[in-house]
């Protein structure tokens, strides 16, 4: 059974950093591109970032480019999202998903507030 389990969310002050993790199991992690998708409170879904199977290619939405870094450790079957210079508008639930959005994690809440 495919499972994606996010962790690392929480309350953080504007300008600070947070690192999300997503532990994958039930499939060959290194064979799949992966992505992060966010959902602001009571809002719809927005793609945030994607990473290729080997990690050599990364892609970001404009609003997070230069602030967020997606990475992966295929030996640990884990996806990461390093979030720096956080802003109040980054407040959302962040989901880890396989690249074609066929499987999603349960999500982790990130709240950016002073």
Partner 1 sequence: DVVMTQTPVSLSLAIGQPASISCKSSQSLLGTSGKTFLNWILQRPGQSPKRLIYQVSKLYSEVPDRFSGSGSETEFTLKISRVEAEDLGVYYCWQGTHFPNTFGAGTKLELK
Contacting residues toward partner 1, per CB under 8 A:
35, 44-47, 50, 59, 61, 95, 97, 100-107
Contacts of 76 (CB under 8 A, 6+ apart): none
In the complex with partner 1, the residue whose CB is nearer, 27 or 103, is 103
**Residue 111 Cβ vs partner 1, minimum distance, rounded to whole Å:** 18
Which two tokens mark 62?
């404009």
Closest to 113 measured CA to CA, from 90, 95, 94, 93? 90
Among residues 50 and 78, whose Cβ is nearest to partner 1? 50
CB of 15 to partner 1, least distance (A): 26
| DSSP at 104 | B
Give me the least distance between CB of 47 and partner 1, in Å please: 5
Q: How many CB atoms lie within 10 A of CB 100?
A: 9
With respect to partner 1, which residue has the nearer C-beta, 17 or 63?
A: 63
The overall longest dimension of the chain from CA atoms, in Å, is 40
CB of 81 to partner 1, least distance (A): 16
């Amino acid at each position: 059974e495919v499972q994606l389990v996010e962790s690392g969310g929480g309350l953080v002050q504007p300008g600070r950093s947070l690192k999300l993790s997503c532990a994958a199991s039930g499939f060959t992690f290194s064979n799949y591109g992966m992505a992060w998708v966010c959902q602001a409170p009571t809002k719809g879904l927005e793609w945030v970032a994607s990473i290729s199977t080997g990690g050599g290619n990364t892609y970001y939405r404009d609003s997070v480019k230069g602030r967020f870094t997606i990475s992966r450790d295929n030996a640990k079957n884990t996806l990461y999202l390093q979030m720096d210079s956080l802003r109040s508008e980054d407040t959302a639930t962040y989901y880890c998903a396989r690249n074609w959005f066929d499987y999603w994690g349960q999500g982790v809440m990130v709240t950016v507030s002073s």
